[in-house]
A and B are shown apart, each in its own frame.
Chain A
Amino acid sequence: MKESKNFCRRMARREFISTVGGGFSSLALAGMLGHEGFFNPLSATTVQGPLATKLPHFAPKAKRVIFLFMYGGPSHVDTFDYKPELFKYDGQTIKIKTFGRGGKKNEGRVVGPKWKFKQHGQSGQWVSGLFPHVATCVDDIAFVKSMQADSPIHGSAMLMMNSGAILSGSPSLGSWVNYGLGTVNQDLPGYVVMLDESGGPISGAKNWSSGYMPASYQGTTFKAHGSPLLNLKSVQGMSMTEQQRIIKSLNHLNEGHLESRYDNTNLEARIASYELAYKMQTTAPEAVELEKETEETKRLYGIDEELTQDFGTKCLLARRLVERDVRFIQIYSGGAHNDHNWDAHGDLEDNHNLHAGQTDKPIAGLLKDLKRRGLLEETLVIWGGEFGRQPTAEYAKGTGRDHNSAGFTMWLAGGGIKGGMSLGSTDELGNEAVERPTHVRELHATILHLMGMDPNHLSFLHGGLEKRLVGTAGADIIPELIA
């Protein structure tokens, strides 16, 4: 955004208040303003308003996040959490306490893992046959095998993983990141979400909503095919030069209107927003021009194969967006309901073969491509779902597993993460985290920390409470993961 003609400190403050806080005066900003002046909005001198770049609390290790959301809940015991005992008990009914969609149970029929596990990399991480490509990247990956979440039900668990609370209404992780740090590239949204081709996840827009924060922090859905952003192209097929001509007249009239209202920076901001919108219309399509990529790169992401084409395209887009300083990118594997996503209640093998098959190569391609371009260092990649799955079967017949939030695996790579390691563990059947149980809030705390923010100080005053992503009680980071 251009520097305001009438810029002076007084104006900056006024605009900031009216733009972000509405009638709240400084209240809504209280959380942000604090912490020894690091979040002083007055330091934002060029771009103003909610998306102005802001300084972090301390030097960040990660500048951007790519969250690969395996919606539906991938089975940890069939992917990365190797449980030899589980193979042995296959088919046997045992006493075991589980809690999933089907309620609380005290016994169940064990379903042995359906894929073989092998150790990979110099660090010897266990990976099942579902992820042969990711297996080649394990020395860059830190696995957290003792994750726990508050709910084993999709709706609330999705909100937990995305917004830190099982209750609907809180801002999502990407919103917090953009609230705390602002947007670097004003020509693109700072927080984009790519949905699965089968549709949005359960709870829809609540997963990328900014909750009680301004809508400017909410995620923007970004499409891998066709025009990437809603309303990016004129439905009337206006050319860019034509649009520019209209904006020229619009600006002229708006500036006439501004003359006698010169102190109102909202009017100015609105004039400037047309310039930004105009730029976005060139920048965003350019960001999705995959023709500019080599065939080798496209193959690396599996774009040449039908099975991996879609997710591969999204991963490659993520890299291109990362290069363009988009702060937070979330890609969904799986959408809609049932077997459209990782929610393998029926046939585990079919379900996971499909979803892992669609994502394994693209994910490995993304990690490798980021690494060879020197982007992985400052790009935090997160993999996981809203929970894992139970070691036992859900029904009398079949291999389907119910949900499990008592123990599951997520992994992180790049962006200040120590590679080639596993943290924590579940019990011998993978049912519950026993060694170093790690809550979703700790994962969130770690993500914010790596981005240069103190998770216990990044807050937003709402309803008389200083709301935080990590909850009012706060959360510790996971120091073991940090390089």
Chain B
Amino acid sequence: MTIIVPIKQVPETSNVRMDPETGTMIRAGAATVVNPLDLYAIETALRLREAHGGSVTVLSMGPPAALKAVKEAIAMGCDDGLLLSDRVFAGADTWATSYTLAAAVRRLGAFDLIVAGERATDGDTAQVGPGLAAWLDVPLATYVARIDTVADGRLSVQRLTEEGYQQLTLQLPALITVVKEIAAVRLPTLRGKKRARLSEVPVLTAADLDVDRACLGLRGSPTKVVRIERPKVARGGEMVSVNGQQGVTAAVDALLEFLRSRGLLEEVSS
């Protein structure tokens, strides 16, 4: 199988401290990582390659520093990578991003499957995967939690929805986005890291792609950010501390009283 995995480099959030008043991340010193939800896409692609043969190409768009993310994916086991980096790509919304990625996928040639993460942890839109499927006009399954079979040019998957797992079969080539449940992610090996260090990752600009420049970056983005606010998240709620068994009763009394005052216990007390 020829598999492509689009990934995004995002700010690292796991060790980021939070300003308790504004609820904002203290970004100083925050490193960048491969979007954590993209790791499940990489893992899924690697497992498919292990089972069915073929290759996994990782694709990213971002500043030159995003080369690090591509190399991390290669260290995990991806065969090769491609970075799209150009000032005109900057500020792209999900429409312009999926447009640009689609042009890069076409340049890569024929593929069987694109595996994307559910969404990126910074933008949090989950829109680039479905948008890319639309540009490429290939069948789409989002929120895939399980791959059942790959046979005869068809892929059978289960997608996690609000009502349960939807079971469907897609004709390849296709695009899926995967959720965390699909697989536990492997760590890069020493050998993989060495291979990543030595690998040459091509960096393409807009001139290398068959694109309409008016559709790229900030200029090509239908949506415009008007303003950014930092909401205050501290609610300044009531706090009670428990001391001894009497304390437990008193604390639960206070909680029940609070819930009643907000009308949250009507159903159970009537």
A binds B: no
Chain A interfacial positions (CB closer than 8 Å to B): none
